[in-house]
Amino acid sequence: MPVSVQQAIQHFVDYLKFQKRYSQHTIISYQNDLVSFFDFLELLYGKTELPDIKTSFIRSWLAQLKEQELESKSISRKISSLRSFFKYQLRQQAITISPMATITAPKINKRLPQFVEAKDINTLLQDVEFPDDWEGKTQLLLIQLFYNTGMRQAELVGLKEMQVDRYNSTIKVLGKGNKERIIPVSKELMKLLWDYMDSKRHHFDVYDKTFLLINAKGKKLYPRYVYNTVNKYLSLVTTIDKKSPHVLRHTFATHLMNNGADLNAVKELLGHSSLAATQIYTHNTIEKLKDIHKKAHPKA
Tell me the domains of the chain and their CATH numbers. 5-91 (1.10.150.130), 118-296 (1.10.443.10)
- For 219, the 3-state DSSP assignment is coil
Spatial CB neighbours of 92, under 8 Å, sequence gap ≥ 6: 11
Alpha-helix runs per DSSP H in the chain: 5-14, 24-45, 55-67, 72-91, 118-126, 134-149, 153-157, 187-203, 223-234, 245-258, 263-270, 275-278, 280-296
Task: Give the contacts of 11 (CB within 8 A, at least 6 positions apart).
Answer: 3, 88, 92
Q: Is 59 designated active site? A: no
Residue 137: partners with Cβ closer than 8 Å, 6 or more residues away: 130, 196, 199
Task: Answer yes or no: 246 catalytic.
Answer: yes
**29: Cα separation from own chain's centroid:** 14
pTM value > 0.75: no
Cβ contact 119:237 at 8 Å: no
- Is 249 catalytic? The answer is yes
Residue by residue, pLDDT tens for the chain (300 residues) are: 567 899 999 999 999 999 988 888 899 999 999 999 999 999 998 989 999 999 999 999 999 999 998 888 899 999 999 999 999 999 999 999 999 999 988 876 667 789 999 999 999 999 999 999 999 999 999 999 999 999 999 999 999 999 999 999 999 999 887 889 999 999 999 999 999 999 999 999 999 999 999 999 999 999 999 999 999 999 999 999 999 999 999 999 999 998 989 999 999 999 998 888 898 888 888 887 788 778 887 776
Q: Point out the catalytic residue in the list 249, 250, 255, 267.
A: 249
Which entry of 17, 181, 220, 272 is annotated as an active-site residue?
272
Which one of 152, 243, 250, 267 is the catalytic residue? 152
Q: Which of 17, 176, 203, 283 is catalytic?
A: 176
Among residues 11, 77, 87, 246, which one is catalytic?
Answer: 246
